[in-house]
Every structure is written in C-alpha cells, then in structure tokens.
Copies of this chain bind each other. A is one copy, B any other.
C-alpha cells in the first residue's frame, strides 16, 4: 500500500501570475464512489487514464492506490457514472529541492488556485515558495471530492 502524505495551501494569484512555469497538464476527474472511509476517483490527465482508491485521511496521511487505465475507459467511466467532472490545469513546480503541484481550477471551480506538496513523512520540512498563501490542509471544502459536489463558484 502507498501512503499519501500531503499538505495543501492557497496560492497568491499576483505572485503566481508572474511565476515562470512550464505548460500545465489538463486534468478531468470525477468520483465514481464515495463513502465514509474511501473514494474511487477516475482521472484523465492529458492522454492517460487513472483509477485511484483513497482511504480516509488521518492527520495529513491517507492510503492511496493508483492504477493506470486506458484513456477511453476513463472517459467512458466519467461520462457513464460521474455526475460532476472537476477540471483543472496542473502545473508542476520544482522549488528548493521539492516538487509542488499547483492546480488552477476551471469551469465551476474557476478562481480557485491550490498548491500541494507530497511528503515522505508527516514531519518533513520544506521551504514555502513565494506564491504560497495560507495552509488549507484538512479543510474538507478544498477536497477535490467536495469540489465535485459543492464547487467554488457556489461558496
């Protein structure tokens, strides 16, 4: 089993706009299943499909199982079974030896920018890039599974 240990922050838009960055990936994802202890997510990232099962978050960690699946199957699962699809551009940003993922949400979540860093242990330290704003780790309304049902534009 893989454990996902992740911290999440809002992004200062003015700093981010002037940040030099590589072109983003385009992600579309939906939630096939969601219960009290786990979710199953389907994602299309550029030309690849993924199915991901995640356990309940405990502290800042959770179990994660990710499988690559055919893109067409991922598309079919999204259209057959997911009422809401979350879309975003994902920028990969190296900063002081760590990799940040900055998600610029689109459509119903347009206006929301979130930066995430994946850690190998909960106590791992790192330097915050200048575009980082307040931390929102553990705030459920920023969970992508929540953004699918209660998008940013409806807050």
Contact = CB atoms under 8 A, between A and B. Distances in A.
A35 interface: yes
B32 A81 contact: no
B73 A67 contact: yes
Contacts of A55: 80-81
Interface residues of A, number: 19
Contacts of A27: none
A81 B81 CA distance: 21
Interface string A49-81: 001010100000001010101000100110011
20 contacts: A1-B73, A1-B76, A1-B80, A32-B33, A32-B38, A32-B40, A33-B33, A33-B38, A33-B40, A37-B81, A38-B81, A40-B40, A51-B51, A53-B77, A53-B81, A55-B80, A55-B81, A63-B80, A65-B76, A65-B77
Contacts of A63: 80
A33 B65 CA distance: 15
